[in-house]
Amino acid sequence: MIETIDALAQGAIQLPPDQRYALAQRILASVEPEEATSIDDAWTEEIRERILKFDSGETKGIPGAEVFAEIDRRLAP
């Protein structure tokens, strides 16, 4: 079994980075609990909705510097 895993790993390492990433995602998805998948699906939908609202002008972005300044202000003692 170890030899098989080593052979698979060696073959996977030779793949281009994007294919290694896709393979890793498939392997991880095969061992994640079902509820994690539903959470991922919910976040994917939330992200889609936020992008649509941003693209339509319904919401506006806030520059990162402003966001971090606000966080620093709130966390300051």
pLDDT digits (tens, 9 = 90+) for 39-52: 889 999 999 999 99
Cα four-point dihedral sign 10, 14, 20, 26:
negative
Asked whether the beta carbons of 37 and 29 are under 8 A apart, the reply is yes
What pTM does this model have?
0.47
Could you say which residues of the chain have pLDDT below 50? none
Q: Where are the domains of the chain?
A: 1-31, 35-77
Residue 47: per-residue pLDDT: 97
Residue 67: per-residue pLDDT: 97
Question: Rounded CA gap, 43 and 59, in Å?
Answer: 18
Residue 59: per-residue pLDDT: 95
Q: Which residue's structure tokens are 């992008």?
A: 51
Residue 40: per-residue pLDDT: 87
